[in-house]
Amino acid sequence: MSCSGAYATAAEFETQWFYDFDLASDADATAEIDSLLAKAAGRIHAAMQASGQCSCTLESWATDFLKELNMVAAVVMFNIPAVRLSDDQRTKYNDYLREQLELIRTGQIELCQGETAKAFPAFGVAEIGLTDRNAARIIDNRRRREGI
């Protein structure tokens, strides 16, 4: 795999971020999203190049991982009006993106087939309470999980 172009398509981006948006009927919007995804992929290419992962065959999971990272990068880097993120959400996505790129750059996440990496991608979930009621529910859920 060479480090060029976007990992995700506008259609995949639409599925991930715009459940009620119809890119198929708007060729200009599709071209714009494809362009932003290609630009956002540059950071991923740089991290992969730094760790020598541009000229290999990707692991089966790595393709989806890079697509997701590409879409997050586009959302964080560019102000796409249809994707409304709070400042806190944008900061968290940016931190996630920075962390994943660093793991790729340092070889802690190995995307190439047949390689053994220092680390592996993981998934975490954080509840965000936008109202007092939701914040109270989150606290109550945590207490229940921890048996407090």
Q: Domain total for the chain?
A: 1
Whether 127 maps to a domain, the answer reads no
| DSSP states of 96-139 | HHHHHHHHHHTTSB--BTT---SB----------SSHHHHHHHH
| Alpha carbon distances (Å) from 27 to 11, 81, 131 | 11, 17, 38
Per-residue pLDDT, 136: 83
Whether 30 maps to a domain, the answer reads yes
Whether 59 maps to a domain, the answer reads yes
Whether 51 maps to a domain, the answer reads yes
* Distance from C-alpha of 19 to C-alpha of 16, rounded to nearest angstrom: 7
Cβ neighbors of 65 (< 8 A, separation 6 or more) are 111, 121
Per-residue pLDDT, 137: 83
Whether 148 maps to a domain, the answer reads no
Domain that holds residue 51: 10-121
Residue by residue, pLDDT tens for the chain (148 residues) are: 568 999 999 889 988 887 556 676 788 888 888 999 999 999 999 999 999 999 889 998 999 999 999 999 999 999 777 788 889 999 999 999 999 999 999 988 889 988 655 555 566 667 777 778 878 888 888 888 888 7
Per-residue pLDDT, 134: 79
Whether 133 maps to a domain, the answer reads no
Whether 108 maps to a domain, the answer reads yes
Q: What is the pTM of this model?
A: 0.73
Per-residue pLDDT, 21: 64
Give me the residues paired with residue 109 across strands. 119
